[in-house]
Structure 1
Amino acid sequence: MLAAATALVFAASLAAAADVGVWTPAGSSGVVCIHTALLPNSRLICNERPHQNMYPANANTGGLVSAEIDLLNGADVNGFGSWTAKFTPREVATDPLCAGHSLLANGSWFQAGGDPYGANNGQNPPDGRKSRRIYNPCPVGAAADCVGSWTTLPDMTTQRWYPTVATLADGSVIIIGGTTDAINFGQLADINNPTYEYWPSKAGDPRHLDILSWAFPNMLYPMVFVMPSEHVFLFVSNKTVIIDPKTDNLIYTVPDMPVMDHAPWIYPHIPTMTVLPMTIKNNFKFTLQICGGSRQTTIDASPMCWQISPEDASPQWTRIDDMPRGRLMIDSVIMPDGKILYLNGGSWGVAGGDPGEAGSAGGPIMAPDLFDPEAPSGSQWSTLASASNYRMYHSGALLLETGHIVTFGSDINNQDDAVNKKADCMPQVQQFNAGCQDPFNTNIERFAPPYLQRAERNGRPVISKAPDTTTHNSTFIVELSTAASNVARVTFIRQASTTHQTNTDQRFIELNILGRSDKALLVQAPDLAGRAPPGRWFLFVLDKDGVPSVSKTVFLQLGAATQVPAGTNGITSSKNAAKAASSFSGISSLITAFAAAVSAFAF
């Protein structure tokens, strides 16, 4: 009997050791997903650039540059079977390439800016540089044949190409930087746009930012995040300014990042910056992590990673463990268990180029690297199973409600032709020969992280009911069809949009479990709109083995907090419920104190 039990434990250990994730094809996006947002019902909305040079218009869409993708396309959201995505072309009024974007409080996708290519070449869609547009998705649970649509908003005050957009604590939007035209790094022109503005528009738009003037041309897609104080963190090259959107005061409390063997930390060198998970264990601390990009002294990518907690009294940049390999054009995806997957990109060069121009960057990196924020220094990184698709310039990745990650995009995908110097296959020839590699990658690939391998073997928690909406600091009930006693954590992840390794939407907050019954949990919503901007959030419950449920989508909205009465659903309070319930309020006081302390720096 003991021998049999030992054999089972040994077999389980071997299986766990082999858990490095599984990649499977997931169908076609129809367009190259350069700009991508998550929609309800496991859908994506993607935009590509108009095909140009010798490449004919996209035959999948009749030349349209936008498509909505139904990833499940009839597959069971709770299952582990195959997916074959279905795409539906969507018409957009102006060229959305090179826009900035974020998901709004109501779940719609807001975009600002775009590209002049269509206007300059007599094609559609026309110039989108001054445009603002919104994609309105179908609601959760809509009919399978329902698709969303684009709406055009009033123009911005100025043209913007490669701006950054972030949704703020009050649900409005800040639009920062960019240029007034497509940039040529070899022949710089006076096209910098060192300003920012808002949607809805405010008197005084646009507003000047000296830091964007200083950084030119290293100021495209600046790194922008709203913070718990509701101030806005803005990072370009190696400098930071904090914007108070209520007063437009500029605050300079964050020191410059140390200058080492690294090119400016921004496009075209393309690192990625991520808000680290805010957890009970780290007292919901707001910390940013930046990784990857180009070296300064060679063409190789850098493995460096740095962290900053900008709302500390005396913030300092801290270098942490290097990634297992140098990587640029790198995407990060926060997973339900609080670990972060770094994937896509290449090992040398810089981003940029027209379709098919595969010589600016190379060395596609197929294996993702997993970062564990709670692991001790020296053991924070591990490497998982390799993908099948090159994901170079103009690619991305997003988390889904199932716990899978999908990767997509890349329109300079003819890496092998470039490496093998197939002269008749390069764009300068101005013809697309049948023997050449298609640079436009519309393949979607699905990654099941190790926790889904464990789920397939042993099952996963199941949420049977959760509220459609909640407000900050509210308590609410999560009902389960599996045992609540086996739930170790409840996590909240904001749904996201991404382009050019820029994702201002995603962030992770662990929720306090205030009580439980046999099949229900009482949890507390995040406290601050600056920490948790309003919008659509994934709600996951995780078992004691770190396996997440399929999520429920919860709209986190502004408004008065509501409390579940004691004893609802037979729930009894946890021993540490009072401590947990007060932890957010204590942090809120610290944030208020921080805002007062830094006001002396505003000018």
Structure 2
Amino acid sequence: MIFTNLKHICAARYASQLLLPNGNFILVGGRRSFSYEYIPKEGEASKKSFFFPFLYETSDIDENNLYPFVHLSTDGNVFIFSNNRSLLLNPTTNKVVRTFPVLPGGSRNYPASGMSALLPIDLNAAADANGIKAEVIVCGGNVPDAFQLAETKKTFLPALDDCNRLIITEKKPKWDKELMPSKRTMGDALVLPNGQILFINGAQKGTAAWWDADEPNYTPVIYNSEKPKGQRFKVLMATEIARMYHSTSAVLPNGKIWVGGSNTHNNYRNLDRFPTETRVEAFSPPYLNKDFDKYRPTIDETTLTKELKYGELFELEFSVEDGAELTKNDIKVTMYAPPFTTHGVSMGQKLLVLKNDGIINVSQRTFRIKVVNPPSNLIAPPGYYLLFVVHRGLPGKGAWVHIQ
């Protein structure tokens, strides 16, 4: 599919893509591309593009609307955030369903390059499939003219340090703001298997693009969306490697984070204040502390159904070395949609907390849990996911499953 439609993807540089419930992709924006189009399955061609005035309206002197943040809401509509504005688009009718309040403070998309993620979707919290909440978070970035000043004068303005949440399934939501421990542009926001969010990489001054940032942000931060305001951020151990323009990171099946890249130049530079970075790192979030190994669950993949059907109940067994008597509230089963990641944007990233239907103690260390698959392709588009068992915030190694 990627090679079949390569001419469409290359024609829209700095565009964002998202997997839709029908298995197609929507491709949104790009440089001087004020439109979106649908990329069908392999062997089929995209029929047309749709002019999207919203992208033109949110383009300023420095663009700041490239790589728009695109998330699939729980009702099948597409949330699109560009610069400082956002809306909900129906991908079936191509009508704008809802516009949201402007997010004050600055610009959030490339080259100001803030971060965004869809918060974990808890399928236990809704009475039925129509009441499943979807909430996004948008953090960091820079002021609208930061890129121009960096490009023309090499004046690097401080990045933004705010985080903002919006419940996109509400009819009249408002942005809820709080401050991060540090400023960040060009960072990555990764949803972890236990539902926490990791902010990593980036800089504290300037913007994306060549030679346009300073003061690398070496310090990762964990964000716990379930905790009260004022208690959500935890600062972690810093790296010694600058990860700025063209850096990236990804969640691995074992729960570690693969971190690599950084090239603030338009060619390879081995000797420079911020040289072209060829080293990679494996970052271990706090839940991988060896002291927790005896509490970490291990999935028995022989009991796991790898081909899942929407809405069906299924069981799996897992073991915990020191599990004592676990209850339903001690265990979560999560499904993670791995994203396509570039320039600090994790496209299509999503974590679902499956409905827990009860847990049975099979033996001293072995347990069987019953969970319900996502109710429809609106919640989980067809494809491959990493399934994790999480014991009191500690995920074990993930297992690949496929749903359709």
* Structure 1 and Structure 2 fold alike (TM over 0.5): yes
Paired position in structure 2 for 1:266:
109
Paired position in structure 1 for 2:389:
541
Paired position in structure 1 for 2:207:
350
Q: Distance in 2 between matches of 1:493 and 1:174?
A: 20
Paired position in structure 2 for 1:166:
18
Q: Is the partner of 1:446 in helix, strand or coil?
A: strand
> Judging changes above 3 Å, is the alpha-carbon distance between structure 1 residues 528 and 254 closer, same or farther for their aligned structure 2 residues?
farther
Structure 1 position 306, deviation (Å)? 0.9
Instruction: Report the TM-score, using the length of structure 1 for normalisation.
Output: 0.58
Q: Select 1:238's aligned residue among 71, 84, 93.
A: 84
Q: Distance in 1 between matches of 2:14 and 2:398?
A: 33
Q: Distance in 1 between matches of 2:297 and 2:256?
A: 15
Q: Distance in 1 between matches of 2:24 and 2:144?
A: 37
Paired position in structure 2 for 1:532:
380
Structure 1 position 504, deviation (Å)? 2.1
Paired position in structure 1 for 2:67:
221
Amino acid in the other structure paired with 1:442? T
Structure 2 unaligned blocks of 5 or more? 127-131, 147-156
Paired position in structure 1 for 2:306:
468
Is 1:252 aligned with 2:94?
no
Structure 1 position 497, deviation (Å)? 2.0
Q: Distance in 2 between matches of 1:392 and 1:193?
A: 26
Is 1:451 aligned with 2:303?
no
State the number of aligned residues.
Answer: 371
Is 1:507 aligned with 2:365?
no
Equivalent residues of 2:37, 2:46 under 8 A apart: no
Structure 1 position 456, deviation (Å)? 5.1
Equivalent residues of 2:203, 2:244 under 8 A apart: yes
Residues 77-156 of structure 1: matches in 2 within 5 Å? 134=2, 151-153=3-5, 155-156=7-8
RMSD: 2.5
Q: Distance in 2 between matches of 1:363 and 1:157?
A: 33
Equivalent residues of 1:484, 1:520 under 8 A apart: no
Paired position in structure 2 for 1:361:
213
Which structure: greater strand fraction?
Answer: 2
Paired position in structure 2 for 1:197:
37
> Judging changes above 3 Å, is the alpha-carbon distance between structure 1 residues 438 and 392 closer, same or farther for their aligned structure 2 residues?
closer
Q: Is the partner of 2:289 in helix, strand or coil?
A: helix
Amino acid in the other structure paired with 2:69? M
Is 1:313 aligned with 2:171?
yes
Equivalent residues of 1:157, 1:206 under 8 A apart: no
Q: Distance in 1 between matches of 2:318 and 2:10?
A: 50
Equivalent residues of 1:340, 1:370 under 8 A apart: yes
Equivalent residues of 1:484, 1:516 under 8 A apart: no
Equivalent residues of 2:5, 2:39 under 8 A apart: no
Paired position in structure 1 for 2:254:
402
Q: Select 1:288's aligned residue among 136, 152, 158.
A: 136
Structure 1 position 279, deviation (Å)? 2.2
Structure 1 position 520, deviation (Å)? 1.6
Larger Cα Rg: Structure 1 or Structure 2? 1
Q: Distance in 2 between matches of 1:550 and 1:397?
A: 18
Structure 1 position 484, deviation (Å)? 9.3
Q: Is the partner of 2:141 in helix, strand or coil?
A: coil
Paired position in structure 1 for 2:152:
none
Amino acid in the other structure paired with 1:338? G
> Judging changes above 3 Å, is the alpha-carbon distance between structure 1 residues 323 and 431 closer, same or farther for their aligned structure 2 residues?
closer
Q: Is the partner of 2:54 in helix, strand or coil?
A: helix
Structure 1 position 515, deviation (Å)? 2.7
Q: Distance in 1 between matches of 2:357 and 2:123?
A: 12
> Judging changes above 3 Å, is the alpha-carbon distance between structure 1 residues 459 and 157 closer, same or farther for their aligned structure 2 residues?
closer
Q: Distance in 2 between matches of 1:485 and 1:157?
A: 52
Structure 1 position 169, deviation (Å)? 1.0
Structure 1 position 204, deviation (Å)? 5.9
Structure 1 position 368, deviation (Å)? 0.6
Structure 1 unaligned blocks of 5 or more? 1-132, 135-150, 180-191, 414-426, 558-603
> Judging changes above 3 Å, is the alpha-carbon distance between structure 1 residues 194 and 457 closer, same or farther for their aligned structure 2 residues?
closer
Structure 1 position 512, deviation (Å)? 1.8
> Judging changes above 3 Å, is the alpha-carbon distance between structure 1 residues 484 and 204 closer, same or farther for their aligned structure 2 residues?
farther
Structure 1 position 325, deviation (Å)? 0.9
Name segments (4+ residues, structure 1) moved above 4 Å.
201-204, 280-284, 434-438, 454-457
1:461-491 Cα distance to aligned partner (Å, 9 max, x none): 1101212120221111112244695352212
Q: Distance in 2 between matches of 1:336 and 1:207?
A: 36
Paired position in structure 2 for 1:327:
184
Equivalent residues of 1:294, 1:350 under 8 A apart: yes
Paired position in structure 1 for 2:151:
none
Q: Distance in 1 between matches of 2:256 and 2:119?
A: 19
Q: Distance in 2 between matches of 1:322 and 1:231?
A: 29
> Judging changes above 3 Å, is the alpha-carbon distance between structure 1 residues 537 and 154 closer, same or farther for their aligned structure 2 residues?
closer
1:502-552 Cα distance to aligned partner (Å, 9 max, x none): 1122111111221333132111111232222222211111223x2211111
Moved more, 532-541 or 200-209: 200-209
